[in-house]
Amino acid sequence: MEMLRIGVIGAGRIGKLHVENMIRMTGLEVAAVSDLMLNDSLKEWAAEMGIPSVTADYREIVQDSGIDAVFVCSSTNTHVQVIIEAAQAGKHIFCEKPLSFDPEQTRQALEAVEAAGVQLQVGFNRRFDHNFRRVKEMVEEGQVGSPHLIKITSRDPYPPSPEYIQVSGGLFMDMAIHDFDMARYLAGSEVVEVYAKGAVLVDPVFRELGDIDTAVVTLTFANGSLGIIDNSRKAVYGYDQRVEVFGSGGCATVRNDYPNSAELVTEAGVRSDKPLLFFLERYQQAYIEEVKQFADCVRGGKPVSVDGKDGLKAELIAHAAKRSLLEGKPVRLEEV
Amino acid sequence: MEMLRIGVIGAGRIGKLHVENMIRMTGLEVAAVSDLMLNDSLKEWAAEMGIPSVTADYREIVQDSGIDAVFVCSSTNTHVQVIIEAAQAGKHIFCEKPLSFDPEQTRQALEAVEAAGVQLQVGFNRRFDHNFRRVKEMVEEGQVGSPHLIKITSRDPYPPSPEYIQVSGGLFMDMAIHDFDMARYLAGSEVVEVYAKGAVLVDPVFRELGDIDTAVVTLTFANGSLGIIDNSRKAVYGYDQRVEVFGSGGCATVRNDYPNSAELVTEAGVRSDKPLLFFLERYQQAYIEEVKQFADCVRGGKPVSVDGKDGLKAELIAHAAKRSLLEGKPVRLEEV
Amino acid sequence: MEMLRIGVIGAGRIGKLHVENMIRMTGLEVAAVSDLMLNDSLKEWAAEMGIPSVTADYREIVQDSGIDAVFVCSSTNTHVQVIIEAAQAGKHIFCEKPLSFDPEQTRQALEAVEAAGVQLQVGFNRRFDHNFRRVKEMVEEGQVGSPHLIKITSRDPYPPSPEYIQVSGGLFMDMAIHDFDMARYLAGSEVVEVYAKGAVLVDPVFRELGDIDTAVVTLTFANGSLGIIDNSRKAVYGYDQRVEVFGSGGCATVRNDYPNSAELVTEAGVRSDKPLLFFLERYQQAYIEEVKQFADCVRGGKPVSVDGKDGLKAELIAHAAKRSLLEGKPVRLEEV
Amino acid sequence: MEMLRIGVIGAGRIGKLHVENMIRMTGLEVAAVSDLMLNDSLKEWAAEMGIPSVTADYREIVQDSGIDAVFVCSSTNTHVQVIIEAAQAGKHIFCEKPLSFDPEQTRQALEAVEAAGVQLQVGFNRRFDHNFRRVKEMVEEGQVGSPHLIKITSRDPYPPSPEYIQVSGGLFMDMAIHDFDMARYLAGSEVVEVYAKGAVLVDPVFRELGDIDTAVVTLTFANGSLGIIDNSRKAVYGYDQRVEVFGSGGCATVRNDYPNSAELVTEAGVRSDKPLLFFLERYQQAYIEEVKQFADCVRGGKPVSVDGKDGLKAELIAHAAKRSLLEGKPVRLEEV
């Protein structure tokens, strides 16, 4: 197998996660990592991971001719610039979501990617989840008939810090964007209209920062089918990630994942453990799968399955949701 | 136990169901039944049920001094007049939903009931379902904390006939009205705003008759929490009736009911039987419970748990949903 | 439908249960009831049930020419005599299990039944349970292939009184006899060998009375397949009644029944209600079904599905189990 | 973390599995591998795994002073000799089950281990399974009260080859030995008596080779509680690995693991995927955990949690089961 040499830009939680997964894969080599906050702790970690090069300047990675592909795991406001430079340097790109907060900028990044003829995969990891992928298969095999309704439950176990909320782009851009992508993925049709209703029920800090913590979004797809998403920043019982697809032929559905299936039955009733805590636990394998598929596509010259256009479309839905929330009425996608 | 003598007005499917349940109860006696379509088949059925009096004219029942309470199971357009006359005759009343298609008329019926000092229970049978009642208990015990989201799945296994669709009052008034009541019941708070999105995905006949067959409704409650209802006139896999209540302390949820729990595991996977077919199967026991509670309340002089105001409120939500669908924007309850 | 006139002999818990079910059925009439303990309370109950005749002497029922069939619900030691007299009087018979504690006596009863050409159904109610019947169907349809192993979990929620234990015939004859019948029913093959292991783990009173409260029984069937039954007199979490059939083509299995499907998910985990309490709750519908089928067979002249031979065979297995326990080794059915 | 240098003796399926897991762990280094069948394919594999030394002679590993611990994954008939030599060379030892087919030999191995003061862990991987470990926790926390019955379902998806059957030691020694260990683990008490019933229902080849393919084993524990194990060499629907612990306070139980939780509900019923195929899938994580714990114990000088005595005890139960099967009666452990 051809060896793929990877540079990782941004070594926060998600950047480190990718590195820790990649060093266990065959056919991949993490050749370099960059982070603005280059400190001793990071250097130690890189040494432990066996990464030969660590830098504060991502351009060293972008310009390193020995590197085949970059993982863009830095903060969202840096994505577009890094993508453009990496594309121009001929690197294939894996970028975390969202590509940017501004569709116009995202379009510029996509143009650079297209002009350079490189691949760009967006980190919509949930498409690689064992449960959701199986539902998608059922839908594609026609087992639910023609889809009528896509229903997505997506609730985080605890809210991010106020610091993060401020730069997150808001619930729709930061959190629901995964669900917008999942809705498109499962429906097999584009969203044409969005109605979003939001509330602050978890913590008043969201209101103070101009954000919401609870949301219900109604989607209308081009094929006439409907979608519902509900989000919360705090589901105390664990990460709640479920989908249902209802169609003319039936319904496909998934449960959450649990740490074990042990059940205790006593006079007091039946008890079992709550769902897996959060995305690191629930999507552990999905994070590995998305990277494997990216590497396979890059090596084999096949188009990646979640590309820049998918990133852009989810962003546009997030923008429409935001506007719908502000204006208190449904918004057509063509308006944003 | 004091014997309660019942007159049943309207002997269609639901009227007959109530009779068949009541003749098996102690403390109740079905003394008379009326139906506009008084034919031999109905007379035979009444004889088999041991009902002494059968008539085409409901007034004979209303004016029968030996009758304590009436069940109004005739078509919706007759409800108000029957309720007013029965109330004025001092009968307690159990009336199927909706009370009427017109809030103004419903209000007149409620006034007559109040003036007469009789009891009026509305046939929101689902409140008496073993599953939903248990969720309600969990909510009332504070087990889910303060509610954030009420989520209701409500899908019929097959659509009614075109003849019925025409006089049904439409999906919101005929079908979703149960869900509007369930939403209020579970939220413990009144609905203040409704946004409804509809589609015709099951059968074009709905469009031809000015109705829809698929709907998604977003509710906002007075306490700030949100609600989602999804409806379909055709879930081929059986009656789909589930609720979830998400709150600050957790989530309460139910599955559908199934005819058995047998599971077959083979090389092809795991198979089990689909959910119970429709309302007669799923709510068999709930139909019995609602009548028992009605009888208990009437006998004991206690107020019924689902009264005329509950009927009116669900109707108002249905009206708001209808208007929201037509106008393509959210509607405040105070507007209808 | 031809009316079937029933006399009920023995009005303890199970006799009353049958009466309360039968008065709600069409085509059946409970004409008389007898009980040795004829007191005012019983007379009141009979009046409430609308039973015209109440007596302390079962012979009045047996000799009443207006009665078509008798339900033998008296204590086990009276069964054989009542069956013989009822058969000779030309009555069809429904008898609770076991027919007797002595196979020789049971054989005499069966001979009387055969000589009289009447029907005898044994009260193995579990064959009429929605779950077990569905497993049986799966087995009969060949869905599990040829059976390899029948596995039965059968645990009561609380032990009977010491008084009852003394006259019960012991765990195998009183309790496991249902499971021995279920094993034959599901296997579609006769038991040829039994190995029983017992213990007193619930309450020392069982030891004092020469009984056990916990048992594990291994069965060998004529077709070579195996069976396992485990019994306990005390499963504090509710009546535990499950079966599994493993075969060359797969496995059919059932869960217990629960009062509702509500699930509460909180930080502490997932909670739901324990299984239905005991046989009155779990087999409520099965008790109705067995009587309906008995009445149908009697009316239609069709052989009942659980007859005297089934009763005898289960008793023989119970005897073999008892001997195996005493002797500490497997016992062949042909030995008892 | 101190680096532990490992030599792997025997590079069949299980030896390779351990290597592939270990090269992904921090603090471990696979320094050498030996296999009698040293061919090019094995050398290639070792190179790919980055193992510096490959040999046909396990003694090179045992005598390599740079090696801290050995994994004994060779065929069972070699275990004792390798263990003794490795112990004498001061290596810590991880040995696959069973230690040997002969308790006397196993005892010699344990003596050598004890004399050398090294650690010996036996490969009872199931103790490290997320589900079984959780049940064990529930039992240890007293949640099921005092145990009454341990019930183990253990069925392989397909039988081994005739060649393997011949050298396997038979169903009890090869397959059920895991269940014998699990029974001791969950019961927290030693087995004192065994009754085994076997059958050939899967494939006549088992009979020809003097083995069985289906078994039911009844265990009696020193504390008076009972156990049941059922085994099959062919559960076509996938690896069936479940346990239940019934006690005075309740019941703890687990389901199988499944590849996903997707459920399809159609007119034909409910369908989902069958359980994970076999041990490599089901115990993937357990194989990792057992090695991590072994390494932790060796590094920290703490006793391993599954040691040679556990290995011996499970072997003795297997011997008792074999004798019980042959003699057709229960066998006391003290007899073997």
The model's pLDDT over D150-197, given as tens digits with 9 standing for 90+, comes to 999 999 999 999 999 999 999 999 999 999 999 999 999 999 999 999
A269–C236 C-beta distance less than 8 A? no
D230–C249 C-beta distance less than 8 A? no
pLDDT over 80 (residue C333): yes
Distance from C-alpha of D151 to C-alpha of D182, rounded to nearest angstrom = 10
Distance from C-alpha of A72 to C-alpha of A122, rounded to nearest angstrom = 10
Chain D residue numbers touching B157 (CB-CB < 8 A): none
Domain C4-118: what homologous superfamily? NAD(P)-binding Rossmann-like Domain (3.40.50.720)
Measured from the Cβ of residue D271, the count of other Cβ atoms closer than 10 Å reads 19
Strand partners, C246: C149, C251
Q: Mean pLDDT for chain C?
A: 97
D214–C197 C-beta distance less than 8 A? no
Give residue-wise pLDDT tens across range C165-186: 999 999 999 999 999 999 999 9
Closest Cα in chain C, distance from residue B111 (Å): 38
Query: pLDDT band at residue C44, thresholds of 50, 70 and 90?
Result: very high
User: Which among A144, A154, A193, A197 is the top mutation candidate for probing chain B, defined by the most B β-carbons within 10 Å of its own β-carbon?
Assistant: A197
Q: Search chain B and give the residue with CA nearest A214.
A: B148
> For chain D, what is the radius of gyration of the CA atoms?
20
Touching check for B264 and chain C: CB below 8 Å?
Answer: yes
> Are D67 and D90 in contact, with CB atoms under 8 Å apart?
no
D48–A134 C-beta distance less than 8 A? no
The pLDDT of residue B112: 98
Give residue-wise pLDDT tens across range B44-83: 999 999 999 999 999 999 999 999 999 999 999 999 999 9
D267–B271 C-beta distance less than 8 A? no
Query: Could you give the maximum distance between any two Cα atoms of chain C, in Å?
Result: 67
Distance from C-alpha of B156 to C-alpha of B171, rounded to nearest angstrom = 11
User: Which among B1, B264, B270, B276 is the top mutation candidate for probing chain C, defined by the most C β-carbons within 10 Å of its own β-carbon?
Assistant: B264
Domain ranges within chain C, ordered by starting residue? 4-118, 127-285+314-335
Give residue-wise pLDDT tens across range A280-315: 999 999 999 999 999 999 999 999 999 999 999 999
A253–D265 C-beta distance less than 8 A? yes
Chain C residue numbers touching D251 (CB-CB < 8 A): 235, 237, 240
Strands annotated E in chain A: 4-9, 28-34, 53-55, 69-72, 92-95, 120-122, 147-155, 191-199, 214-221, 226-232, 240-247, 250-253, 263-266, 269-272, 331-332
Averaged over successive runs of 10 residues, the pLDDT of chain B (336 residues) comes to: 93 96 92 95 94 97 97 97 98 98 97 98 98 98 98 98 96 98 98 98 98 98 98 97 98 98 98 97 97 97 97 98 98 94
Touching check for B262 and chain D: CB below 8 Å?
Answer: no
Closest Cα in chain B, distance from residue C46 (Å): 14
Q: Search chain B and give the residue with CA nearest C248.
A: B266
Nearest to B24 among C24, C259, C265 (CB): C24
How confident is the model over C73-89, as a mean pLDDT? 97
Closest Cα in chain D, distance from residue B137 (Å): 25
A159's tokens: 């809210």
Nearest to C269 among A265, A266, A274 (CB): A274
The pLDDT of residue B177: 98
Instruction: At B220, give phi and psi (nearest 5°).
Output: -120, 130
Give residue-wise pLDDT tens across range D98-137: 999 999 999 999 999 999 999 999 999 999 999 999 999 9
Closest Cα in chain A, distance from residue B143 (Å): 12
Touching check for D267 and chain A: CB below 8 Å?
Answer: yes
The pLDDT of residue C2: 83
A329's tokens: 């009425």
C268's tokens: 């502490």
C259–B130 C-beta distance less than 8 A? yes
Domain B127-285+314-335: what homologous superfamily? Dihydrodipicolinate Reductase; domain 2 (3.30.360.10)
Query: pLDDT band at residue A260, thresholds of 50, 70 and 90?
Result: very high
B2, B57, B56: which is closest to B28 by C-alpha? B2
Q: Search chain A and give the residue with CA nearest D246.
A: A265
D195–C218 C-beta distance less than 8 A? yes
D199–C195 C-beta distance less than 8 A? no
Distance from C-alpha of D90 to C-alpha of D87, rounded to nearest angstrom = 5
A266–D143 C-beta distance less than 8 A? yes
> Are B308 and B99 in contact, with CB atoms under 8 Å apart?
yes
User: Which among C241, C265, C277 is the top mutation candidate for probing chain A, defined by the most A β-carbons within 10 Å of its own β-carbon?
Assistant: C265
Instruction: At B180, give phi and psi (nearest 5°).
Output: -65, -40
Q: Search chain C and give the residue with CA nearest B246.
A: C265
The pLDDT of residue A140: 97
How confident is the model over A216-227, as a mean pLDDT? 98
Instruction: At B225, give phi and psi (nearest 5°).
Output: -75, 165
Q: Search chain D and give the residue with CA nearest A273.
A: D134
> Are A91 and A62 in contact, with CB atoms under 8 Å apart?
yes
Give residue-wise pLDDT tens across range C95-137: 999 999 999 999 999 999 999 999 999 999 999 999 999 999 9
Give residue-wise pLDDT tens across range D289-333: 999 999 999 999 999 999 999 999 999 999 999 999 999 999 999
C252–B262 C-beta distance less than 8 A? yes
Query: pLDDT band at residue D2, thresholds of 50, 70 and 90?
Result: confident
Per DSSP, the three-state class of B334 is: helix
Nearest to A230 among B146, B149, B224 (CB): B149
Instruction: At C328, give phi and psi (nearest 5°).
Output: 70, 30
How confident is the model over A207-220, as a mean pLDDT? 98
Q: Search chain B and give the residue with CA nearest A213.
A: B148
D196's tokens: 């085994």
Q: Search chain D and give the residue with CA nearest C196.
A: D218
Nearest to B134 among C134, C251, C262 (CB): C262
Closest Cα in chain C, distance from residue A244 (Å): 19
Residues 32-71 of C with CB under 8 A from D: none
**Does the pTM of the predicted model rise above 0.90?**
yes
Residues 135-174 of C with CB under 8 A from D: 145-146, 148-149, 151, 153, 155
CB pairs under 8 A between A and C: 42
Nearest to D254 among A24, A257, A262 (CB): A262
Chain C residue numbers touching A237 (CB-CB < 8 A): 265-267, 270
Distance from C-alpha of B299 to C-alpha of B66, rounded to nearest angstrom = 15
The pLDDT of residue D251: 98
Which chains reach chain B with 3 or more Cβ–Cβ distances below 8 angstroms? A, C, D
CB pairs under 8 A between B and D: 41
Q: Search chain D and give the residue with CA nearest A250.
A: D266
Residues D36, D42, D47, CA angle at the centre, nearest 5°? 130
Q: What is the dihedral of CA C175, C180, C183, C184, to 10 degrees?
A: -140
Distance from C-alpha of B97 to C-alpha of B121, rounded to nearest angstrom = 10
pLDDT over 90 (residue D26): no
